[in-house]
Chain A
Amino acid sequence: MSARNRELLNLTVVGALTAIGFASVYIAQQEVVSTSSLSYAGFFFTLYLAAHIVARMCVPHADPYLLPIAALLTAIGVTEIYRLNPDDAFRQGLWVVIGVGLFAATLFALRRDYRRLETYRYLFGLAAIVLLVLPAAPVIGRTVNGANLWVGFGSFQFQPGELAKILLIVFLAGYLREKREVLAQGRLKDFGPLLVIWGGAMLVLFQTNDLGSGLLYFGIFLAMLYVATARAWFVAAGMALFVAGATVVYEIVPRVQERVAVWRDPWPLADDEGYQIVQSHYSMAAGGFGGTGLGKGTFTTIDGDYVIPFLKTDFIYSALSQELGLVGSAALLLVFMLFALRGFRVALLATDGFSKLLAIGLTFGFALQTFIIVGGVVRLIPLTGITLPFVSYGGSSLLANFLLLAGLMLISNRANERMSGA
């Protein structure tokens, strides 16, 4: 079976799963199976069918699992968001349409050779930095939940950090491919630019007040640096530097201290700072092994107020855990692992340095972001407000993830094409 036919088959399975998911939410909430549950699934399937056709035209040899997994994750996200608030699901659905559009446009624009991006690496780097500092800009910068991660124009809000992450990965892939031999020698003078990046990550940390984003950018950077230079001690030194920087931030920023205190023991703070995480634990516990079932979970008080703030964004995982149970949340994490595995496979199969570095950056970024947000929710690490890729509510995050998907498919198309051609 050709890669694209396999992809189509997988998408059909995802379409059926989406229909079942929506149907169960409908049954749970309205006690009727309405045809509109099927029309939601139908809409979703058509959308991804369009994406599939574009893939068939532009990247015929690309990995056949990436697009269906992304489709499954967005479907899970939209279903859960629909279950929490149908209006939000409509907006999220709109973002998925735009995301798929962006995905198609990217595939189409770079279908001949994405590697020309390498030429513009410094431009990407500069753009990433501009986007990162944008939330600090007067007038358009916005602070949400204590973190300066947003820009807004009127009622429109955007998180430029999400896009900056992708641009930064492109820059690093180009830069490290060029300098890897020099860097591998380990001479101090070559490390200037890297210290600049470390400084940048710290700056982002300070400026956004958010440990999560800083950790994410720096983690991606270290993984790519390691793959480029094969020097494990760079990673160790980098981690040490990060810990040093984070300690300073911890000392200075009260919000970070608060988060760490809640992480260590939320129970004494259950009425104040720890409320969110404590209720999130209760939500997960309520799910138990089998879960309450989609649409059957409890997220509101008797008066209809949400028990957990930021449920549809930061805490979507604890909502899903309650309704799908341990079985469902473990399966969801396995789906994330599967996507990461396919991504790493793309990196392994890619034939040139730039492609390998780009693939490893995108994939590791995806995996690390999942770890940071879910790890925060299950209290493995202090909680930070970033999104669960493809699942959380939020346009900027969805668009960035569709770019990431497009990138991986472009790289795998080229790798597989050369393999089968050779």
Chain B
Amino acid sequence: MNRQINRVAVAALVLLAALIVATTYWQSWAAAGLADRQDNAIQRVAQFEIKRGEIFAADGHTYLARRVLRKVKGKKLYFRRYPQGARTAHVVGYSTTVRARAGLERSMNDYLTASNANLNTVVDTTLDKLRGATIEGNDLILTLRPGVQKLAYEQLAGRCGSVVALEPKTGRVLTMANSPSFDPNLMEKPGGYAKILKIQAPCSSPSPLVNRATFGHYIPGSIFKVVTASAGLDTGKYQPESTFVDPGFCVEYGRKVTNYSDQSGPAVYGRVNLVQALVNSINSVFCNIGKEMGPKPIVDYMKRYGFYSVPPLETPVNERRPSGLFDNGKLFEPENAGQVDPGRLAFGQERLQVTPLQMAMVAAGVANGGVPMEPYVVQRIRAPDGKTIRKARPHELGRAISPQTSRTLTEMMTLVVQGGTGTAAQIPGVAVAGKTGTAETGVRGRNTVWFITFAPADDPKVAVAVVLEAQSGTGGQLAAPIAKTVLQALLPSRSNT
């Protein structure tokens, strides 16, 4: 019988060994993937036992997210408080036990919980584990300027819209404010989430949880003329002095497309050059430029500014969207003039959908000698012992236009503010460059109004994009003053708030 006993023994041991193999799979191979799943209740709670890293504004001491210790049933848990509330809700996001995380709280979770693979952090957490001490996460220091963030949020004044301010030389996001917003502190409160969903705002879809700056899709309207002008000038097809005759409209497929009209009817400018066409935002001129150039060069220059790809930023990738031409909700790239109306494309209509961040990148690209920088919002990641474990370094997105074109465009955009549609953005003693946009949606009082700007024109320090939804005025009237206020607050001559 002993031979049979041996065989049964081998069979039994093989079965038990298979258990070790399966356990190894779950605890090493599959472990990382399982930890990231959003319905992982254990991770959700376990991470609240970690001294989660805190999030600070650019000044290094204004709390954007802080931890508070609370004892729950004998367990020490670290909950989150967001002292800036709605002002920074979209960038910072939230981390609660009841809902999945969002914003930087989600995308930077590894750093905040010290589960990043950085050697320094791994050594620290392993020592903490061995000592039985609470693991302490890394802090984030952002590029957001708390005073300006507050100012921008207040300037939006409950209207639907967004303000993005970049430092052109680095790509630093100085301000990213959206309205309507929500108080992330409500998330953890009973009924809080329902309250957030009920937030009202004067536009068709208030969506308070959405980061409009990176995920909002808007028709750009006339601010897009900066991209069209970039293509026209940089390819050498047009010069600032190139002349056009404006009959007040442009014929597209046998139909008249008129210039922007006020109470006195559509404006007619007659013989103008390219500079005047931009300063007065003459649709018919750009319409003809588009028809002459065709869509290809315009789309090329869009891509050079970063359109057609998700703009880089540290927030979760599903909270950002690319800008470009969209067909049935999908990005599409026209191969020939038949697939797109190049005239309408040239003055920012057609099926263009852009994010405020992307338009701020266009302004910053022109401002930075033709080179847009990759935007970033996390300046520094700091270990619990104060050591810096990662520091942001500016990266070029690539060259969009030549330094010469950049200078020409800057001059043209300065004229827009000096004596064109953007006079509301004038700052005494500072040369401001800008471009207005008023995208008519066909319904009165439902205009999307824009202003993109940078200053000082000779040595740009700040680039801003402002968008407001569902307005009855123009970009020059409504968006430009907000941009001006933000510019003033951010320009170095002023106190650094």
Contacts and interface: CB of A to CB of B under 8 A. Distances in A.
A364 B12 CA distance: 7
Interface string B1-26: 11111111101110111111011111
Contacts of B74: 29
Contacts of B24: 326, 330
A270 B43 CA distance: 15
A340 B20 CA distance: 15
Interface in A359-374: 360, 363-364, 367-368, 370-371, 374
Given A282-B42, A293-B129, A378 B12 contact: no
Nearest to B48: A302
B464 interface: no
A226 B6 CA distance: 11
Contact of B41 (A282, A287, A304, A341): A282
Contact of B4 (A230, A322, A334, A363): A230
B4 A300 contact: no
A227 interface: yes
B42 A298 contact: yes
A51 to B, nearest CB: 25
A329 to B, nearest CB: 5
A353 B1 contact: yes
Contact of B42 (A283, A304, A374): A283
B39 A270 contact: yes
Nearest to B35: A285
A370 B16 contact: yes
B61 interface: no
A270 B42 CA distance: 14
B12 A340 contact: yes
A18 interface: no
B34 interface: yes
A297 B35 CA distance: 14
B12 A363 contact: yes
B97 A302 contact: yes
A286 interface: yes
A47 interface: no
Interface in A264-302: 270-271, 278-279, 281-290, 292-293, 296, 298-302
A321 B1 contact: no
Nearest to A289: B28
B364 interface: no
A301 B45 contact: yes
Contact of B22 (A290, A296, A341, A378): A378
A216 interface: no
B23 A344 contact: no
A283 B37 CA distance: 12
Given A293-B129, A298-B49, A380 B42 contact: no
Nearest to A375: B19
A380 B26 contact: no
A383 to B, nearest CB: 13
Contacts of B18: 371, 375, 380
A165 interface: no
B28 A288 contact: yes
B8 A226 contact: yes
A216 to B, nearest CB: 12
Nearest to B76: A31
B28 to A, nearest CB: 6
Interface in A320-352: 321-322, 325-326, 329-330, 333-334, 336-337, 340-341, 344, 347-348
A348 B15 contact: no
A360 B8 CA distance: 8
B1 to A, nearest CB: 5
A203 interface: no
Tell which of B37, B42, B97 has the most Cβ of chain A within 10 Å: B42
Contact of A340 (B9, B30, B43, B48): B9
A378 B8 contact: no
A223 to B, nearest CB: 5
A-B CB proximity, top 10 nearest: A285-B34, A344-B9, A378-B22, A367-B12, A326-B27, A285-B31, A298-B46, A371-B15, A227-B4, A284-B26
Given A223-B11, A330-B24, 8 more contacts: A270-B39, A286-B42, A300-B73, A337-B17, A340-B9, A375-B15, A379-B22, A380-B19
24 contacts: A223-B11, A226-B7, A227-B4, A281-B34, A282-B42, A284-B23, A285-B30, A286-B35, A288-B27, A293-B129, A307-B45, A326-B28, A333-B20, A337-B16, A340-B13, A344-B6, A367-B15, A371-B16, A371-B18, A374-B19, A375-B15, A379-B22, A380-B18, A380-B19
Interface of B: 1-9, 11-13, 15-20, 22-28, 30-32, 34-35, 37, 39-43, 45-46, 48-49, 72-74, 77, 97, 129, 132
Interface of A: 27-29, 223, 226-228, 230, 270-271, 278-279, 281-290, 292-293, 296, 298-304, 307, 321-322, 325-326, 329-330, 333-334, 336-337, 340-341, 344, 347-348, 353, 356, 360, 363-364, 367-368, 370-371, 374-375, 378-380
